[in-house]
Chain A
Amino acid sequence: MSSHRLSTGGQIDRARSVKFTFDGKALTGHPGDTLASALLANGIQLVGRSFKYHRPRGILTAGAAEPNALVTTGTGGRTEANTRATMIELHDGLNARSQNRWPSLGFDIGAVNGLLSPFLSAGFYYKTFMWPAGFWEKVYEPLIRKAAGLGKASYEADPDSYEKCWAHCDLLVIGAGPSGLAAALTAGRAGARVLLADEGFAFGGTLLTDRDARLSAMLAELEALPNVQCLPRTTVIGWYDDNVFGAVERVQKHVAEPDPGQPVERLWRIIAKQAILASGAEERPLVFGGNDIPGVMMAGAMRSYLNRQAVAPGKRVAVFTTNNAGYRTAADLEAAGVDVAAIVDPRATNEPGWNGKAKVLTNACIVDALGGKSVSGVSIAGASGVQRFEADAVAMSGGWSPVIHLACHRGAKPVWSDTHAAFLAPERQEGLSLAGAAAGLWSTEACLSDGSRKAAEALQLLGFAKVEPAFAEADAAQPAATPFWFAKGSKGKAFVDYQNDVNLKDLGLAVREGYGDVELAKRYTTNGMATDQGKLSNINAIGILAEARGVSPADVGTTTFRPFYTPVSFGALTGASRGKHFQPVRKSPLHDWAKKNGATFVETGLWYRAAWFPRAGETTWRESVDREVLNIRKNAGICDVSTLGKIEIFGRDAATFLDRVYCNGFAKLPVGKARYGIMLREDGMIYDDGTTSRFSDDHFFMTTTTALAAGVLTHLEFCAQTLWPELEVHFASSTDQWAQMAVAGPKSRAILSEIVDEDISDAAFPFMSARTVSLFGGKLEGRLFRISFSGELAYELGVPAGYGESVADAIMQTGEKHGICAYGAEALGVMRIEKGHVTHAEINGTVTPGDLGFGRMVSTTKPDFIGKVMLAREGMQASDRPRLVGVKPLDPKASFRTGSHILSDGAAATLENDQGYVTSSCYSPNLGHTIGLALIKNGPERIGEKVMIWNGLRNEFTDGVICSPVFIDPENEKLHA
């Protein structure tokens, strides 16, 4: 045991202990611990195996960038893989397991990969597994995925709930370190609505590590300000357009048993008028041999564990540093009674002010950490050659990289600063400014001052009068930083990217093989990929690439920062939209009527539509549908058509407007009449169809297909608002206002006559009539339309939705003696195919009116309508375009399926011989065989031609013949009855 808990100190509650397990072993810690600190306190430094070589790995950091200490937590549906031990707040019952090892963490067979490492360099997979091509997917990839990898996801459902919410503020402060706290205090005191988010469970950032005495008063003041909302355990994950930020709050990830009434995680979408990024800076690792051995740790992390959780990394620590951070760590280690073997500094002179016990070696560097599953010593190269020092832990600090990810999520590019030896983001962008260490300031006083100033600036932009900064101006002068990219002369593997096992030599190889560009090097070596996205490794990799290419890091540049900053669970993204609430259910006002009549429903978009109404003894859907169809053509049927889109169109110019959006004429449509209309897109193809009726000079009523109801309304609004703003026209969706039922069949008039007060004889109410009618002896008003999709004598009756069920009941009741039946969308489909009516199966986005036989409907006299110009193109009028016809099997007992292709008789079954395809098909109970509608080249000229109907997917061939698309009542006698 080398890492251990000190007997005093720390910000933990020693009076209480917390029980948890790691790899099945029962352990204890204290409130205030993370899983990482508790493992270290228990002397556990080996916590995982690396991705590729299965090398023993320990805890490197104390924060979100942790690449090594990835564990699986929870059991069953709560299993969560690849969680960072450094971010897990210790809680009772926490069950954590190490990953990527077999049979155990201590003895891992996969470690044999380390011996094979000379063969496993960058690009190995690309070079080795190229042949045979088919092997990649079937053999190589599954094997590699099995050997290399992270944790495994659970197959069980997550029992917890998640939530999404919106928040608004004047100022969002991201990060509650010195800069963020100063900003929040400044804005909070000024009365602004402030949101302060920090990924940690305790606010303070480096003030916690520094044990700064001012912190508790600052936090108490923020708590007391009603206009400041504090969000601990909340990681801001992305910056989006309109200054919207995404954030994930870990609401109940730190409790033994989540309260089922609360979400475990909450996804925030924060709309901020202004924001301050005070995300601090990430300490850079140093690249030397064995820098991944458990016990090698970031200097800042070591100091954080020491001061916050009273955990010492070992008994004797070697410090390797290029800046004052290592000296600070050394001082605190010595103060806590831990020996510091040496401070190794590659700079020519040591940090001014060092007065500790440890010896400082300048112009020196650690070339190798020694050991296997823990550190046993270090090799230090200096003026006097290479010396070996005994040590059981190593602290390293290669300088600081501002955490600028969020500031670059909307396209800003990081810029290299020689004085900072770091990439910086633009300090001020619209809506977001950087403060403190994120802006390249290193001292606490400078950060407090900068946070205050940036908050005051942001509020002034919002019109706040005088804003008093919470902290005074401080001297921002700081010494220039010295970059140090790697130690020369290392014997062991020097890791750049810990998570992906990318070492120094891999990057050199990438440059030699022509992949020196930062984007190519990333893909070639995998540096900067996976869950940590190169938070620790990217800048070192850039420095190493720059050195290998003999250029500045400025010339290498960075890869692109994209949301999310840290991994986000699918649960948080899903929120409450799961199970029953996955998507809303849309119900027709006749839903319950259909249900009580025994309907089987089908999902059509969000709607639930009655598909058919099975009766006792019917065992297949076809039996029900055949019965419904035959009965309607003989007697009558009633069908819910409420889901079709309905739009009220008002205004002085409504007729002119309709004339422009439909390709056929509407201006002269008389009041009281309906007309079938075809709406084209600008490209001349059909967009949607439906009937539009005229109720008064300035009031029309349009119906659309169910699928495009919303699309058509949007289209109309677009036309009115942007194409022809001079037209006075208004739209109101009335889809939901009306319960609409089709009553079809030869007895439909007799049935409706008992309900409708007016005369609806053919003379008084001929085909295509549309009027408001009185119902039930004046007790109700409705809208009656004499239109037909089935080809039968038919009406559509619309009544206010709340009366729908009652009116449908009444129609069933009066229709009983006439043999009425309820019918669904399937029977509707069969009847419209029998009649040759089209739907979106035919209106597939590539057909013109002419293709569907509506060529003569297209107005030649209107000055303009949408699609007119493009419809005139040669290709749109070509006679060999696929055009609508019917198809039927030669042998009535034979059948075919929708989607089958048409071949000329005797032609080979190849795509080159394709003549068209079957757009709709069904069994026609009236004709006793399968019928279909098809789009076939020169179709109407080929009626009577024998063809082969070919289903290439199922290898089915059916002899067929091209016929008229109208299979029933071509003279329209039924329609006009």
Chain B
Amino acid sequence: MPDLPTLRPALAGEPALDSTTIALQALPEGHLLQIMGATERAVVEAAIAAAGLEGSDVREAGYRQWYVVGDKQLSSKTLRELTSALPAGTFLSDQSHGRVRIRLSGPHATKLLSTGTAVDLHDAAFPEGRSAITLFGHLSVHLTRKSAAGFELIVLRSFAEALYEELHAHAA
């Protein structure tokens, strides 16, 4: 029997950036679950609470689509519990490896993002907790405002390196 398989994060080896104006870092590849079918946020929140995932963040990801994200890796068992906690007509697709989370923050974060996204990032138009699916340049991203000057971008794993390097180049 070969060795225990080891996890290799998509952005392993990409340097974090932390300047006075911009901070950029890859977030832990914990869990990212795509929930489909539920119309209400509360339904998703109830299901993740039932599965003991109170710390996870629920984000809008399109019509009747949600992302449940968190830093903790989930076992197959937990996923099955969560799946069975979902009401009929609501489905779960594990995307913990398919999507990668990147954190971008700092006083210049909004300016940097506006070079790539057409989303209005003014505090009033895109307050804390708001999410949008948009493009950053050529790449599709799911964008969430986490704080006044802090954002999280979710990108397809295959494009994570390209996005990270592009953000890094813009920020440098």
Contact = CB atoms under 8 A, between A and B. Distances in A.
B36 interface: yes
Interface in B157-171: 157-159, 161-163, 165-166, 169-170
A167 interface: yes
B94 A737 contact: yes
Interface stretch (A476-484, A774-782, A837-845): A774-782
Contact of B5 (A581, A732, A780): A780
Contact of A728 (B9, B89, B165, B169): B89
Interface stretch (A15-23, A419-427, A582-590): A582-590
A800 interface: yes
Contacts of A733: 98
A72 to B, nearest CB: 30
Interface stretch (B41-49, B52-60, B113-121): B113-121
A450 interface: no
Interface in A587-618: 587-589, 592, 607
A730 B114 contact: no
A586 B93 contact: no
B95 A737 contact: yes
A607 B157 CA distance: 12
B29 A802 contact: yes
Interface in A758-791: 775-777, 779-781
A586 B159 contact: yes
Interface stretch (A392-400, A647-655, A863-871): A647-655
A577 B138 contact: yes
A801 B96 CA distance: 9
A345 B7 CA distance: 85
B161 A587 contact: yes
A577 B139 CA distance: 12
Interface of A is mostly: mixed
Most buried by A among B5, B163, B169: B5
A166 B137 contact: no
B93 A648 contact: yes
A806 B65 CA distance: 32
A576 B169 contact: yes
B5 A736 contact: no
A339 interface: no
Given A271-B120, A651-B91, A736 B158 contact: yes
B158 A777 contact: no
B36 A589 contact: no
Contact of B4 (A269, A585, A779): A779
Interface string A719-736: 000000000101111111
Interface in A615-671: 648, 650-652
Contact of A577 (B6, B114, B122, B137): B137
A736 B98 contact: yes
Most buried by B among A577, A588, A589, A592: A589
A699 B83 CA distance: 12
B106 interface: no
A754 B1 CA distance: 6
Most buried by A among B8, B37, B99: B8
A807 B117 CA distance: 37
Given A164-B115, A730-B37, A801-B157, A806 B6 contact: yes
Contacts of A164: 115
B37 to A, nearest CB: 6
A738 B93 CA distance: 12
Contacts of A802: 7-10, 29, 97
A754 B96 CA distance: 26
Given A576-B169, A736-B158, A776-B5, A584 B89 contact: no
Interface string A150-190: 00000000000001111110000000000000000000000
B6 to A, nearest CB: 5
Interface in B1-53: 1-10, 29, 34, 36-37
Nearest to B119: A166
B166 A581 contact: yes
B156 interface: yes
B115 to A, nearest CB: 5
Contacts of A651: 37, 89, 91
A495 B50 CA distance: 82
Contact of A650 (B36, B120, B122, B159): B36
Interface residues of B, number: 49
B98 A799 contact: no
B118 A269 contact: yes
Given A168-B120, A728-B89, A730-B37, A807 B157 contact: no
Contacts of A165: 111, 114-115
Given A167-B114, A730-B36, A737-B97, A799 B162 contact: no
A736 B162 contact: no
A859 interface: no
A747 interface: no
Contacts of A589: 10, 97, 157-158
A779 B6 CA distance: 10
Contact of A576 (B3, B65, B157, B170): B170
B34 A732 contact: yes
A459 to B, nearest CB: 16
B51 to A, nearest CB: 17
Contacts of B91: 650-651, 698-699, 730
Nearest to A807: B5
B133 to A, nearest CB: 12
Given A168-B125, A736-B99, A779-B4, A586 B115 contact: no
A737 B98 contact: yes
A552 interface: no
B157 A736 contact: yes
A585 B10 contact: no
Nearest to B5: A806
A806 B8 contact: yes
Contacts of B118: 166, 269, 271
Interface in B80-94: 89, 91, 93-94
A805 interface: yes
A598 B112 CA distance: 37
B95 A803 contact: no
Nearest to B34: A732
B13 to A, nearest CB: 10
A755 interface: yes
Contacts of B7: 802-803, 806
B98 A801 contact: yes
Given A754-B1, A802-B10, A807-B5, A732 B93 contact: yes
A698 B86 CA distance: 14
A825 interface: no
Contacts of B111: 165
Contacts of A813: 2
A193 interface: yes
B97 A736 contact: yes
Nearest to B96: A800
B162 A585 contact: yes
A165 B118 CA distance: 8
Contacts of A585: 161-162
A488 B89 CA distance: 83
B98 A735 contact: yes
Given A168-B122, A575-B115, 17 more contacts: A166-B114, A166-B119, A269-B118, A580-B165, A585-B161, A586-B158, A730-B64, A731-B36, A732-B93, A735-B156, A736-B157, A779-B5, A780-B5, A802-B10, A802-B97, A804-B8, A813-B2
10 nearest CB pairs, A to B: A737-B98, A584-B162, A810-B2, A730-B36, A650-B91, A732-B93, A736-B98, A801-B97, A806-B5, A168-B120
Interface of B: 1-10, 29, 34, 36-37, 64-65, 76, 89, 91, 93-99, 111, 114-115, 117-120, 122, 125, 137-139, 156-159, 161-163, 165-166, 169-170
18 contacts: A165-B115, A166-B115, A168-B122, A575-B115, A581-B166, A584-B162, A586-B158, A586-B162, A651-B37, A698-B91, A730-B65, A734-B95, A735-B158, A737-B93, A737-B157, A800-B94, A801-B10, A803-B7
